[in-house]
Amino acid sequence: MATPRFGKAEEIAGMVAWLAAPEGRFVTGAALTIDGGANA
């Protein structure tokens, strides 16, 4: 079930920080959807 609201910046920031960190170095050419389950 999708989250019935828009996401907040601090909820998106975790994924952005992970991608920018060394742990995200192997992620290339990916479309990562952060949408609270709306596309599930």
Residue 34 DSSP code: -
Q: What global pTM score does this model have?
A: 0.63
pLDDT at 39: 81
Spans of the chain, pLDDT less than 50: none
DSSP-derived secondary structure for 5-32: SPPPHHHHHHHHHHHHSGGGTT--S---
pLDDT at 20: 94
8-38 core/surface letters (b: 16 or more CB in 10 A; e: else): eeeeeeeeeeeeeeeeeeeeeeeeeeeeeee
pLDDT at 23: 93
The residue range of the domain holding 5 is 1-40
Q: How many domains does the chain have?
A: 1
pLDDT at 33: 86
Place of tokens 């920018």: 20
